[in-house]
Structure 1
Amino acid sequence: MTTIRQDDFVTSIADAFQYISYYHPQDYIQALGAAYEREESPAARDAIAQILTNSRMCAEGRRPICQDTGIALVFLKVGMNVQWDSTLSVQEMVDEGVRRAYGNPDNVLRASVLRDPAGARQNTRDNTPAVVHYEIVPGDDVEVICAAKGGGSEAKSKLAMLNPSDSIVDWVLKTVPTMGAGWCPPGILGIGIGGTPEKAALLAKESIMAPVDIQDLIARGPSNRVEELRLELYEKVNALGIGAQGLGGLTTVLDVKILDYPTHAANLPVAMIPNCAATRHVHFHLDGSGPAALAPPKLEDWPDVTWQANTEVATRVDLDTLTPEQVASWKPGQTLLLNGKMLTGRDAAHKRIADMLARGEELPVDFTNRVIYYVGPVDPVRDEAVGPAGPTTATRMDKFTETMLSQTGLIAMVGKAERGPEAIAAIRAHGSAYLMAVGGAAYLVSKAIRSAKVVGFEDLGMEAIYEFEVADMPVTVAVDAQGESVHQTGPREWQARIGKIPVVTA
């Protein structure tokens, strides 16, 4: 009979969530490094270089890989011979570990969890409660997987109840392009097949906790139908040409994971959940001998890739003197280095601004000829101006874009991934532009931020309006003033170059 002590379990959970906040799994980093070497698209290669550089910086500085430090997810396999020496429930112990991890003063993590999700949506301030999945299994120990899942990738999760005769491959190839780039490819696709709808979703989520091993599978060949399906989807999803950050390229997925389960004769449930460029999970066992010992990876195991701004190619932009005429001159795919003062704002701030404008109220800041950055930064520690501050998914602000451009004087926006038709139409109508920063490079981006102060909606916490002063912050013109989107042209070009899947034109 094994006894797991409360303090050992809580400490292990806290250590694990700190660990995964700044250490990528080595299998993911090695796979991404190999993708970098293979990549032929300059834009995708540059994005991967930023992600790899960011990863090493985070490992060295022990700061979060992404500003979205995720919702805490824990898988537990509890041996039937285990007993607990605890005054708390298992859920309460997990939550206490998460609370300690996210409030660690040496590496503060962003609290993103909201209670009353269909109502007040109030931040719990400590990222609890965690989502915990339990399984009781034979044995004398507890197997633990801790993962931090970002909202951008979670938002792209898909579930379908297919007919038994339907093609899973066809569904995946039809569905992946609809996910856009908000899940920050290149990453991993987890697919759950069978059971019931909720079982399929759980299988998909659990599958992405496994090591990246698709290249080993390619080398040895498949031994069952699931492995055949993994290989087929890996090749065909990459042939879509979506590429890193949706800019077009050879690698969209580093691996495809599949778990299946018996299902009803009338059903074929299929769930697909992506893991993003901020893939974060760690596995350990507790056997009653003390808390888990998590060995840090070796920095020499990171690929020898260091991204630097190419000042000979990129155009420096002075945000403090920026004019609509300058914005209108930017070209799709052009690399800019932003300098000067920009404002920030994301979902809650945009909703409040729209409501204030509708009531005729004065806004707390003047957006005239300003640029807004869609971001919710991590709190700073030590001498930082701001913590990791990568972009959030821009499409969530699409419904506010016309209002912002027509009523506030805003002239450009910075975010992650593509814009939808509604936002592109507004950008074209107002001669504005949308600039893309690389998702998964939050710590790297934060190094370009020289100062940060809250200038509006302080009560919104990480969703407040900040004013950042930046120096050579790298962005790409993703939608120009004429409405041309590189997230449309790039994947279309690379799908045609790869040539394995016919290109569908509108």
Structure 2
Amino acid sequence: MTIIKQEDFIQSIADAFQYISYFHPKDFIDAMTEAWEKEENPAAKDAMAQILVNSRMCAQGHRPICQDTGIAVVFLKVGMNVQWDAQLSIQDMVDEGVRRAYLNSDNKLRASVLRDPAGKRQNTKDNTPAVVHMQLVPGNKVEVTCAAKGGGSENKSKLAMLNPSDSIVDWVLKTIPTMGAGWCPPGILGIGIGGTPEKAMLMAKESLMGHVDIHDLQAKAKSAQELTAIESLRLELYEKVNALGIGAQGLGGLSTVLDVKILDYPTHAASLPIAMIPNCAATRHIEFELDGSGPVQLEAPKMSDWPDIAYDGGSGKKVNLNTLTKEEANTWKHGDVLLLSGKMLTGRDAAHKRLVDMLNKGEQLPIDLTNRVIYYVGPVDPVREEVVGPAGPTTATRMDKFTRQLLEQTGLLGMVGKAERGQVAIDAIKDNKAVYLMAVGGAAYLVSKAIKKATVLAFPELGMEAIYEFEVEDMPVTVAVDAQGISVHQIAPKQWQAKIGIIPVAAD
């Protein structure tokens, strides 16, 4: 009988979450590199270059791949012959491991978990509790899978109860474009088919823990070996989802997914549940076993696993934020690459709500937004010599409902965030001759190197959601919505879908 000691289990969980915060899986790096090499759209290729350079920097510096260090998800398969030498429950042991990982002073991770989600939404400060899924299985080992799942991709999860005669492929191809680019493609698509609604969702999540192996399936198909129905479905979806032309960061291109993973389960004769969950460019998971011999020993990858890519910010137009005027911003066109220098403000959901509430009450704001640019970000706390920790953009559409009021009542000039804007925000940007700039999601550590100073100006009690003033130098962004209301995210994917030519582009 195997005896698993409490401390060994806790420390293994802690080490695993630290490990995945800065090490991408090798299969993911290989797949992203291949996608980067074959990409024909310069904007998408640049975005993937930033992601790959960021990944290597994080591996070297042991700092988070993304500022959203995720909600902790743990899958456990506990052998029925295992005995625990522990005083804590399994949930409590997992939570203690997560707590140690996220509060590690040498690589502190961002605490994003809130208690009382329908009420006060108070940060737990240590990213606990984790979400734990456990099975009892034959054997004398504990199989552990740890994943850190970012909110941007989790928020794009989809569930449908199809009729048995409905087409799974049609549903996926109809649904993917509605997800936008907030899940930071190219990534991995997890799909669960069958069972019950909750079983389908769980399978979709668990499928994402598998290794990237779509090329093995392609080779199997080319050699005329017989494919299972699920294997054939994976290949069809991989080809057709990429043919949508969404591309890296939604900028249009050849690669939207690096793999499509599917798990299925028997279901009711009247039902066809299907769930879909994407994994973003910050794909973070690791699997290991505990056999009673001590905590897990995780081997660091080799730096040669990463491609030798340099990123110097490209040839973007240099912009001085300290002297920026509406007239200058109105000369920018969608798709333009800019290098921002000077002072910018930060703010995301909680700060935006505070500002709007103050405006509605006629109160004076704690900051002057006139002709300023605000960056949608919740940075990781700095360690060692850092000014700020990894500070990549958060999903911009969450701020759409606040956009018009801030533009019209404060003199705000521009916004920086991740992925596309919804039509309500685009209309507000056009009406107010403002601009929306896109930074690359999944390149948080790289972005942070452009930040030379960070000062909290307002709402310090909000933690990472406080309003900061960043002083930046040559921070790379792309004009995603220009002052005429033209959105690169609305135009580019259709252009690339037409260019790829597998799926006809629907008429507007």
Would you call these one fold, judging by a TM-score over 0.5?
yes
Contact 1:437 1:476 in 2 (8 A): yes
Identical counterparts, % of pairs: 75
Rounded to whole Å, the distance in 2 between the matches of 1:428 and 1:505 is 24
In the alignment, which of 230, 239, 260 is matched to residue 243 of structure 2? 239
Contact 1:190 1:208 in 2 (8 A): yes
Which residue is equivalent to 1:276?
280
Which residue is equivalent to 1:342?
344
Amino acid at match of 1:61: G
1:306-455 correspondence runs (5 A): 306-310=310-314, 313-455=315-457
Amino acid at match of 1:292: V
Q: CA deviation at 1:281?
A: 0.2
Structure-2-length-normalised TM-score:
0.99
| Deviation string, structure 1 residues 149-202 (Cα, Å, up to 9, x no partner) | 000000000000000000000000000000000000000000000000000000
Q: CA deviation at 1:223?
A: 2.0
Q: Structure 1 residue runs of 4+, over 3 Å off? A: none
Residue ranges of structure 1 left out of the alignment (5+ in a row)? none
| Deviation string, structure 1 residues 254-306 (Cα, Å, up to 9, x no partner) | 00000000000000000000000000000000000000010000000111222
Partner of 1:407: helix, strand, or coil?
helix
Rounded to whole Å, the distance in 1 between the matches of 2:310 and 2:214 is 26
| Deviation string, structure 1 residues 331-384 (Cα, Å, up to 9, x no partner) | 110000000000000000001111010000111111011000000000000110
Which residue is equivalent to 1:17?
17
Which residue is equivalent to 1:302?
306
Larger deviation, residues 108-117 vs 221-230 = 221-230
Partner of 1:231: helix, strand, or coil?
helix
Q: CA deviation at 1:505?
A: 2.9
Q: CA deviation at 1:145?
A: 0.2
Which residue is equivalent to 1:72?
72
Partner of 1:308: helix, strand, or coil?
coil
Rounded to whole Å, the distance in 2 between the matches of 1:424 and 1:223 is 45
Partner of 2:489: helix, strand, or coil?
helix
Amino acid at match of 1:46: D
Which residue is equivalent to 1:53?
53
Rounded to whole Å, the distance in 2 between the matches of 1:268 and 1:306 is 47
| Deviation string, structure 1 residues 27-62 (Cα, Å, up to 9, x no partner) | 000000000111000000000000000000000000
Which residue is equivalent to 2:150?
150
Contact 1:78 1:137 in 2 (8 A): yes
Rounded to whole Å, the distance in 2 between the matches of 1:452 and 1:304 is 31
Which residue is equivalent to 1:492?
494
Rounded to whole Å, the distance in 2 between the matches of 1:306 and 1:284 is 33
Partner of 2:436: helix, strand, or coil?
strand
Amino acid at match of 2:296: A
Structure-1-length-normalised TM-score:
0.99
Q: CA deviation at 1:308?
A: 1.7
Rounded to whole Å, the distance in 2 between the matches of 1:453 and 1:151 is 25
Amino acid at match of 2:406: M
In the alignment, which of 285, 290, 296 is matched to residue 294 of structure 2? 290
Rounded to whole Å, the distance in 2 between the matches of 1:449 and 1:308 is 15
Contact 1:157 1:271 in 2 (8 A): yes
Rounded to whole Å, the distance in 2 between the matches of 1:354 and 1:392 is 19
Amino acid at match of 2:458: G
Rounded to whole Å, the distance in 2 between the matches of 1:32 and 1:219 is 19
Which residue is equivalent to 1:122?
122
Contact 1:52 1:306 in 2 (8 A): no
Residue ranges of structure 2 left out of the alignment (5+ in a row)? none
